[in-house]
Amino acid sequence: MRASIPTLDALINQGARVVVISHLGRPDGAPDSKYSLAPVAQRLSELLGKPVTFAQDTVGAGAESAVAGLKDGDVALLENLRFNPGETAKDDAEREAFAAKLAAFGDAFVSDGFGVVHRKQASVYELAKALPSAAGTLIATELDVLDRLTENPERPYAVVLGGSKVSDKLGVIGHLLPRVDSLLIGGGMLFTFLAALGHKVGSSLLEADQLDTVKGYLAKAEELGVEIVLPRDVVVASKFGADAEHVVRPIDGIEDTDWGASGLGLDIGPATGELFSEYIRGARTVFWNGPMGVFELAPFAAGTKAIAQALTEVDGLGVVGGGDSAAAVRALGFSDDQFGHISTGGGASLEFLEGKRLPGLEVLGWQQ
């Protein structure tokens, strides 16, 4: 919401009657009170410093009344668009029909939801075709940063990837390998890399079906002269839980604990945190996506916190790639202004960095 305020302010200050539309959660095309945007309307009013009319439906009588009552510079927020099955329908005609009803509420469409531009949904794609459309300042800012990450980035260029699964990051690894100087691997996905190198990983998260793919990336990196930096040590726990016993072990000793093969790695170790931090601080461009461990559990948050701290010290562009990474830095006490940029769309950022075509950008003419 805060990232959208500049666009909304610009429209309000020019006297536009602003109808705000958005998503929340996955309510499966039917109203669900826990996903209502009513609290969003209240918070948006506070951020804008003016009343925001809330419509309790998407394109029904409530929305019609809210829009009809707007005067120049006024703002209305419609209920969660995903309460209407047309928003996420797989059938093009159904999405187009819903978009046509939304389009009847306005003369132009400003698309500013970067976090959904990778989705072909009615309010993202079909609405942009139904009305004269443009990107807002949030999308423009995100694309400026992404261009700096992909087109002639300042070097050294380091990418830090974490999160649970290698399979979620395969596309971005493949696309970025020829573009970066170093690739740092943490999170649950690190254990598939360690296993590919012959290390025992106990009961740690392992995608055995990705071992050959990972071996291929390791070989490709060597061929390109790109450093793939893997952990030196990990925090091994007796179980998954905040109350679990845990010890730090080098990567060749993960099963050398009281729990043997049942032990599982839940964070990078302190030596790895220091190693990764050195690479990050020594880079001019850094992109980070994915926590280094189970940061939601205090005993396993140190690795993620070390990466976040190092990113605040980058002499250049340091980017937090949205999603869990953005949630982690805020949960760990960092403020947004400590970083060069925090993306509002983790999935959209990753798909852009994978080189994929994003329908919400293509329809605006922003991807050629």
Residue 25 labeled ligand binder? yes
Q: Please count the other Cβ atoms lying within 10 Å of the Cβ belonging to residue 215.
A: 14
Helix (H) or strand (E) holding 172: helix 170-176
Rounded to the nearest 10 degrees, how much is the dihedral formed by the CA atoms of 331, 8, 144, 22? Answer: 60
Token pair, residue 110, equals 């400003």
- Residue 355, marked binder: no
- Annotated ligand binding at 324? The verdict is yes
Is 265 annotated as belonging to a binding site?
yes
Any idea which residue has 């602003």 for tokens? 18
Q: Which residues pair with 55 in a beta bridge?
A: none
Do residues 341 and 103 make contact, with C-beta atoms less than 8 angstroms apart?
no
Determine if residue 23 is labeled as part of a ligand binding site: yes
- Nearest one of 248, 113, 322 to 330, comparing CA atoms: 322
- Strand pairing report for 246-250 and 233-237: antiparallel
Please state, in angstroms and rounded to a whole number, the distance separating the CA atoms of residues 351 and 169: 10
| 170: three-class secondary structure by DSSP | helix
For residues 83 and 63, the answer to whether their CB atoms sit within 8 Å is no
323 is in an annotated binding site: yes
At position 301, the amino acid (one-letter code) is: A
5-13 helix and 137-150 helix, angle to the nearest 10 degrees: 140
Element housing 247 (H / E): strand 246-250
230 in a known ligand binding site: no
Q: 26 among the known binding-site residues?
A: yes
Distance separating alpha carbons of residues 282 and 311, to the nearest angstrom: 10
- Binding residues, as ranges, are 23-26, 82, 119, 169, 265, 296, 322-325
From the annotation, which residues make up the binding site for ATP? 169, 265, 296, 322-325
Q: Which residues are annotated as a binding site for substrate?
A: 23-26, 82, 119
